[in-house]
Structure 1
Amino acid sequence: MKIDDIIRKCIEMPGISIKRSDFSTELLLKEKEGKGSMTFFPLFPGVTIAYIFVNSPTWTAPNFREDSSIEKGPMLLNYCVTGRCEIILNNENFVYVKDGEISLTERFAQKQYVYPRRIYEGMEFFIDIDTLTAQSVWVQGEFDINFHKVVDRFCPDGATYISPATSEVEEILTKLWSLFDVSIPFSISQMKIYTLALFSLLQNQNDIPPSQACTFFTETQVDIAKRVEKIITSDLRQHHPAWELAAQFSVSETSLKNYFRGVFGQNISIYLREVRMKKAAELLATTKLSVAEISEQVGYSNQGKFAAVFKKQFGLSPLEYRRSKNLENG
């Protein structure tokens, strides 16, 4: 499937709009739960890079199924800069790509892209090998890059590969990431150079780190983790001990904590603390509630403890934070 077909199907989805320029195509997500953007830069026929910025728990994906089977798509290389992205494997188990990791697959997302932390920044490369072979023979010949070989090395038998990027790979990816804010068309030529260097490196790596896609979670385990997250964040004034939650789902406390950490990348207590502090910061910036009232709303009966945790999180006391926001807003 060509990138233009992918983009065309994406804009058929509710909440997705498109903005085109001479050098790029930007998909914009605007829904009740959040917003985001994916900016696509075509580099060569068959090679496109997308810069992704999402502040939403999900991004609904088009239906790429045909005859009830999952359509094999282009080779997708994803690099997570910040956040966490959920991937469903061929065996219907779930794995997660986090900061500094890459994934390679030929499999499209099912139903939606899921970002458990509600924030995601990264890059994705779309490699349509058929188009490359037909229209960009010189790219493969001149630079001695065989994209079929890359697929065979990292995704044998349709597997999904996930691993922290090696230092050499991360160096190239970091340079590519920095180009998003560089003036066009200079950045385009640099994107082309670094992209070719990236796939040449992947093709010729002597030692490929083992894939972490073997560390997976079942649909039931993921569902438990997500239901726990909804319970603990629905009313921040409430406190739910882990043993109580575990009993509710008829699993051990250790298993519950492992499921949650696997999906959200943090222990329950740390995750909840960050959610509470984020909500407190929002209330400080947008309401006239007292610090004591905000402290109570986010689950702290002790205002002093709340202030200490808040300052550790943001580097400012609650009142200092409110004053800084008031100054920013004029």
Structure 2
Amino acid sequence: MKDSLEVLPGIELSVIHFHSERFTMHHELFSDVLEVNYCHRGRIGWDMRDGSSVFLGAGDLEIHTMDCCADSTITLPLGGYEGITVLFDMEVLEDHVPELLKDAGLNGRALLKKLCPGQTPLSLPASPEISGIFSCLFEVPQKLLPSYYRIKMLELLLYLEQLKPSHVNRLTSYQSELTVLIREIHDFITADLSKRFTIEELSKKYLINTTTLKKIFKAVYEKPIAAYMKEYRIRQAMLLLSQTDDSMADIAGQVGYVNQGKFTQAFKEQTQMLPTEYRKRCRLRKMEKE
């Protein structure tokens, strides 16, 4: 879901809600349009036209010109994403500089060249400055949002104007073919949770260095493989507990635990409740709805 609003001439803001795993994006090459993406919740990644991939977590910011992502694959490693996308049309801004910014010496083309030289995306990790611009936009009353949008977009432009890309920490980008391979590995290890694989087995199967495998998996899915898979198994167990009448022993086996005791222990560590208690709560909620 995407709700868009022209905040000021040349500035369009969209509040984004995606629920998927991956999809492709196609649009015209807009070299004079700067796209700024803020991740509020979830995780999102782009395979850019230059062969690079970048992933954002909560609080991170990504900046690129719209010719970088004209034909790209977008991945949502956690299955969902909530954030804000801002489009700055620099040609329009050249002719309609916001009144409050006329003394700032804002130059759209110079800003593009500074932030994305050679059409290279700029990705910044979460910081108090970034949070100060965006986080409140998810908290203010609906009737105040248009005013907040205008104020915060002016603040964002000032932030970008004073930003010195060579002096800031950046999120690491990776070759797209490597992130595609990591997604293949993810799909393989989650296809049948009754099976478990070691890093070494995966490394040999997919011909990838173990260090690279661990590093890029964490970059894409936010957590090390072992921690991610532990949470994934419990999430799938929660679905089985709420949607089936399978026994605890059967569910334990389906999500990769050799016995019910180990499953119960892992489930309680993740959810702070026993699987029997979770199933009982799910059934009570269902009865209340009926």
CA distance in 2, matches of 1:249, 1:272: 18
| Aligned residue in 2 for 1:50 | 14
2:152 is equivalent to residue 152 of structure 1: no
Other structure's SS at 1:133 match: helix
* In structure 2, distance between residues paired with 1:142 and 1:316: 58
- Which has more helix, going by share of residues? 2
State the match for 1:132 in structure 2.
Answer: 93
Higher relative contact order (CA 8 A, sep 6+): 2
What amino acid does structure 1 have at the position aligned with 2:132?
E
Between the aligned residues of both structures, percent identity stands at 25
Q: Which residue of 2 aligns with 1:302?
A: 259
Of 162, 167, 171, the residue aligned with 2:128 is 167
2:51 matched residue in structure 1: 92
Q: CA–CA distance in 1 between the matches of 2:205 and 2:100?
A: 57
Paired residue secondary structure (1:279): helix
Counterpart of 2:84?
A: 123
- Bigger Cα displacement from structure 2, 101-110 vs 279-288: 101-110
TM-score where L is the length of structure 2: 0.88
Question: Gaps (5+ residues) in structure 1?
Answer: 1-36, 65-69
1:241 aligns with 2:198: yes
Cα shift at 1:109: 4.8
1:7-48 CA distance string (max 9 Å, x none): xxxxxxxxxxxxxxxxxxxxxxxxxxxxxx121122112111
Q: Which amino acid aligns with 2:159?
A: L
Deviates more, 1:320-329 or 1:290-299: 320-329
1:304 shift after superposition: 1.7
Q: Which residue of 2 aligns with 1:11?
A: none
Contact 1:237 1:299 in 2 (8 A): yes
Tell me the equivalent position of 1:189.
147
Give 1:210 deviation, angstroms: 2.7
Write the distance in 1 (CA, Å) between the matches of 2:35 and 2:192.
39
Please list, as runs of the form range in 1=range in 2, the aligned pairs for 1:157-306 lying within 5 A after superposition: 157-179=118-140, 182-184=141-143, 186-205=144-163, 209-210=167-168, 212=170, 215-306=172-263
Note the C-alpha offset of 1:323.
1.8
**Count of residues in Structure 1 that have an aligned counterpart in Structure 2:** 285
Please tell me the residue identity of whatever aligns with 1:267: P
Q: CA 1:126 to 1:71, structure 2 compared with 1: closer, same or farther past 3 Å?
A: closer
Q: TM-score, normalised by structure 1?
A: 0.78
Please give the root-mean-square deviation of Cα atoms over the aligned residues, in Å: 2.4
The residue type equivalent to 2:151 in the other structure is I
